[in-house]
Amino acid sequence: MNRLWKALYLRIKFLGEGLKRRSTDILERELEDMENGFALLTFGSIIGFPILPSYIGLSLLPYLEREVLVMLSKSESLDDKLAEWADLADL
């Protein structure tokens, strides 16, 4: 009986962990899109959006390492958006 309870406990624990991991998937994707957007807005002038005054982009540049990396990885997967959505929807 004891072993049964232990097995059940472990199953619930793993299920909980799995749900926990899945629960942030959408948040993570949303965060990456926001960070990507932030980097694009900040450095837009470099890729042809003549919008944000350049000095603002420059003054933020030293602190935007993560956003720049996210932007670069997003730009690499731009031709495979469908796969990204399919992955998000667990298809």
Partner 1 sequence: MKKVFFFVGKGGVGKTTLSTSLAYYLSRQKSNVYFASIDPAHNICDIIGCPPFLGEREIEHGLFVEEVDVESYLRRFLRKIIEEIKSTYSYLKIINLDRMFEVIKNAPGMEESAIMHGLNDIIDRHRDMDYIIIDTPPTGLMLKIFSLPFITGTWLEGLRDLRYRILDRRAAIFAIKGKEYFGKNVAIDKKKDKVLKEIMAQKALVDSLIKTFKEKSIFILVVNPDRLSLMEGIRIKNALSNINIHIKLILMNKSGLLPLSLDIKEFSHIPIKKIPFLENIAKEKIYQLADDWAKDILCLYPEMSK
Instruction: For residue 82, count CB atoms less than 10 angstroms from its CB and return exposed for 0-12, middle for 13-18, buried for 19 or more.
Output: exposed
For residue 48, state whether it binds partner 1 (rule: CB under 8 A). Answer: no
d(CA 86, CA 45) in angstroms, rounded, equals: 32
Return the number of the residue (24 or 75) whose C-beta is nearest partner 1. Answer: 24
Among 14, 18, 28, 75, binds partner 1 (CB under 8 A): 28
Stretch that binds partner 1, among 3-11, 50-58, 71-79, 80-88 (CB under 8 A): 50-58
The Cα-based distances of 57 to 3, 32, 33, 63, 74 in angstroms read 60, 19, 18, 10, 19
Return the number of the residue (8 or 46) whose C-beta is nearest partner 1. Answer: 46
Using DSSP, state whether 33 is helix, strand or coil. Answer: helix
Smallest gap from residue 63 Cβ to partner 1 (A): 4
For residue 56, state whether it binds partner 1 (rule: CB under 8 A). Answer: yes
